[in-house]
Every structure is written in C-alpha cells, then in structure tokens.
Amino acid sequence: YYHTQVVRNRATGYDYSFGGYTSSDFRDQSNTMGTGDIYSTVGDLFKFHMALANNSLLNKELTAEMFTPGIKPADYGFGWFNKQFKYSDKDSVATNFHLGMTEGFLSFLRRAPSDNSLVVILCNSSPTDFFGITSNLFKVLYDHPVKLKQPVHKKMETLIKDFGADGAVAEYKKMKADTANFYIDWISMNFIADQLLQLKRYEDAKIIAENNLSEFPDKDLILVTMGNIYLALKRNDDAIRVYKKALQITPGYEEAKNRLKELGENVLLFDQHR
C-alpha cells in the first residue's frame, strides 16, 4: 500500500498529478495555526459573509479598511484581494476574494458587497480552475450567458504524451485561436510546467514554461517556475535573469529573492523598492 494510492469510495483529499489523480499527502490540520485548521461549510461561510456585510463581526471602519485595495499589483488589503471582476466586455463589479490551498484541498471565496452576492468553492482535489468556475457562476448571477469551453491545459497533457512538448505547443497555438471552444488558464498552464519539472522531465518543462512565459510575461509565478527549470538545467545566467524580472513585478517575492541569494546575487536593490 502506498499513501498516494486511490482507495475507492474513500473521502480524502486528492492531488492532480500529470495525467491523473493520486491521494494527497496527509497533513495534521491541528497544528497549522490559521491555514487549514478551520473546518467549514458553504452555509457557514455565507453566514461569515453576511456578518462582514452587516458589520456584526467588525465595526464599519475596520471592515472598510480591510476591503480597501492595498499592495499592488494584487490590490491586497488586510487579508483580502480587492479587485473589480469583469463579467462581460462592458460590465464589472467590485469584489473581495481569497484562495486557500493545502495538500489535496482547495477553497475559494469571492463576494460582491454591492448586492451581497457570494460564490464559494470547497473542493477535495487540487489544483482546480477556481477562477474559471467562479467567473461563470457570477455570470449566471448577473444574467449573462455562459458558454462552457474546453480547458486548454487538460488537452495539453494528452498532447504532450502523444506528440511531445514541441508538438503540444504547436497545437496550443491552434487552440488559443479557437476562442469559441477553448479557454486558457495561466495558473493551470504553469502547473503543467511545474509538474514536468517535478518529474525531472527538464527539456519538456522548459518548452512548456518558455511558451508560458511568452504568453504571460507579466506573471511573477510563471517567471519563478521558469527560473527553477533553468536552474535544473544548470542555466544559471538565464535563471538569474528571470528571477530578477519576477522581482521587478513583485519586489517581495521571497522564493525569487532566496534563489538569487543562493546564486550569489545582491537583492538589496529590490528590498529598497518595496
């Protein structure tokens, strides 16, 4: 028996590994101190949402401060991301949201204070396209049509297996152009590159990550994953270059700073720009 083995009908957390699901690693949630040690339901989270809305949990002034956009580019306030959600080409609504993730589990909550709308995902598989799912649910709430599209990252896994990474990237470009039937989630595309890295398929990881970088050059996570792959390939100069680009976007990105320190680079300049 291996702990990653899927046991039929067992309620547990699952990780999506490249090409399928495995049982996730076990974590004792009693000692995680605020991240993962809360058990809840959608109904209870709605009560939490309403307590914030009517200021029965915090007073009006503290609540307003918590939901004020703060650190750029995430607009992170005191414990919440606070951003406009665009649910059509012309329409948007102010929202507060946050993600929670641990081994085999994912939660995501997005609230719209203007009309007390709330969408919650509690999921026992990770990763999950929480942005895509919640975006479609908000479209339904605001009476906008929803067209279900195929996720490109799911197709990419099969394409990599059948045609290799180069062939998969060629097909990616075709699917990208077919916006009527496919959608691209950059976080899931980054996950593919990271999974290939973990599997030590470094050349395949590089091909997928470089395509991700050309598609999403302003995403710090994409840049750090690219740097980690370059490190695995012993291309230290390239790794340094992309880690520095990540810090130009997010000066406080600790993983990028730590990698640069390990490579003998001075990161004080980025600390001064925080």
Domain locations along the chain? 14-141, 150-272
Side chain identity, residue 23: S
Q: Which CATH superfamily is domain 14-141 in?
A: DD-peptidase/beta-lactamase superfamily (3.40.710.10)
pLDDT at 34: 64
Specify the CATH architecture of the domain 150-272.
Alpha Horseshoe (1.25)
Take residue 90 and report the two structure tokens written for it.
């012309």
Are 211 and 241 spatial neighbours (Cβ–Cβ below 8 Å)? Answer: no
Is residue 174 classed exposed, middle or buried when 0-12, 13-18 and 19+ CB atoms within 10 A define those classes? Answer: exposed
Q: What is the pTM of this model?
A: 0.72
Are 27 and 35 spatial neighbours (Cβ–Cβ below 8 Å)? Answer: no
Q: DSSP letter at 76?
A: B
Are 183 and 132 spatial neighbours (Cβ–Cβ below 8 Å)? Answer: yes
pLDDT at 270: 61
Take residue 61 and report the two structure tokens written for it.
């002034």
* CA dist list (Å): 105 to 12, 123, 156, 195, 198: 9, 6, 23, 18, 20
pLDDT at 269: 67
**pLDDT 10s digit of each residue in the chain, 274 long?**
577 788 888 888 888 777 678 888 877 766 666 666 678 899 999 999 999 999 999 999 999 999 998 877 778 888 899 999 888 888 899 999 998 888 888 889 999 999 999 999 999 887 777 888 888 899 999 999 888 888 898 899 889 989 999 999 999 999 999 999 999 989 889 989 998 998 899 999 999 999 999 999 999 999 999 999 999 999 999 999 999 999 999 888 999 999 999 999 987 766 555 5
